[in-house]
Amino acid sequence: MENRYAPLVQFLDQLTGRCGLKLCIKDYTGFIRMDSELFQALLPYLTHSNPYCLHIKHDKQRFAHCVNMMKRMAGVCMERECSFCGTCYAGVREWIVPIFEDSLLLGAICAGYLPVELEEAHSRIDRAMGDASVAERERALELYHDYIVPNEADVEAQLPALQFVASYLSSTYRFSRFTLDSKELVPRRSAVQTRMLCQHVVDYITLHASEEISVQEIADYCLSP
């Protein structure tokens, strides 16, 4: 049986295929995972797996900085309540489209992996890498130039389409609230939170498999947005 969210996936696939957009959907509340069909449909868009970003996050200190950046991004979404463009400390520029249901910030759609000016990029990478080895710095520069590239189409021109997707996703949350009674919704949320925590643990261990990992580090990651 076809997933009822297939038209949404086709729409996203067209945006990423035709326009060359790189998308990542942040779920701050677990609203996507409340609906197993929606979760399965959007799974390819729920991970931030750009090779440059993974290289930056491989170091625990830089990883913590990335987590703080995600928290700051959520704060800006709450403050502005509209789409905006921002640049992370490692030189990656993205358009952020918040997903709101009334005043509740459900998540955000990140579009981009866009480069900044070459001089600024090198300066940000240099600061981000800190006391990393020369080889690590050179690898970071190589990955930046390979994977943080301009989009074929103007991302800003695609904002109305992304805002439509955000509105649609908000409506799925609204639908769940009104179609599931409170007794059914609570255990679903509990199960969703458990699955999210398990997935975060797996993600962190995979990323740092060759290092010593503390329980506190895993806990900090699981509590991040």
199 located within any domain = no
Q: Which of 124, 113, 121 is nearest to 150 (CA)?
A: 113
Residue 221: per-residue pLDDT: 62
138 located within any domain = yes
Residue carrying the six token digits 């919704």: 185
123 located within any domain = yes
Kindly give, in sequence order, each residue whose CB lies less than 8 Å from that of residue 62, ignoring residues fewer than 6 positions away.
Answer: 56, 90, 128, 129, 130
Q: Which long-range contacts link 55-59 to residues 24+ away (Cβ below 8 Å)?
A: 55/136, 55/139, 55/140, 55/143, 56/90, 56/128, 56/140, 57/207, 58/207, 58/208, 59/132
**Cβ atoms of 59 and 210 closer than 8 Å:** no
- Domain range enclosing 141: 6-180
Structural domains of the chain, count: 1
109 located within any domain = yes
Q: Which of 18, 8, 15, 30 is nearest to 165 (CA)?
A: 8
212 located within any domain = no
CA distance 225 to 212: 23
Kindly give, in sequence order, each residue whose CB lies less than 8 Å from that of residue 190, ignoring residues fewer than 6 positions away.
Answer: none
Kindly give, in sequence order, each residue whose CB lies less than 8 Å from that of residue 70, ignoring residues fewer than 6 positions away.
Answer: 26, 224, 225
210 located within any domain = no
Q: How large is the angle between the packed helices 215-222 and 60-80, nearest 10 degrees?
A: 20
18 located within any domain = yes
The CA-based angle 34-39-42, given to 5 degrees, is 145
pLDDT tens digit at each of 225 positions of the chain: 577 899 999 999 988 887 778 899 998 888 888 888 898 899 889 877 788 988 888 887 888 888 788 888 999 999 999 999 999 999 999 999 999 998 899 999 999 889 999 999 999 999 999 889 999 999 999 999 999 988 766 888 889 999 999 999 999 888 877 665 444 444 444 444 455 556 557 666 766 677 777 777 777 666 554
pTM of the model: 0.78
224 located within any domain = no
Residue 180: per-residue pLDDT: 52
CA distance 188 to 185: 5
**Cβ atoms of 91 and 112 closer than 8 Å:** no
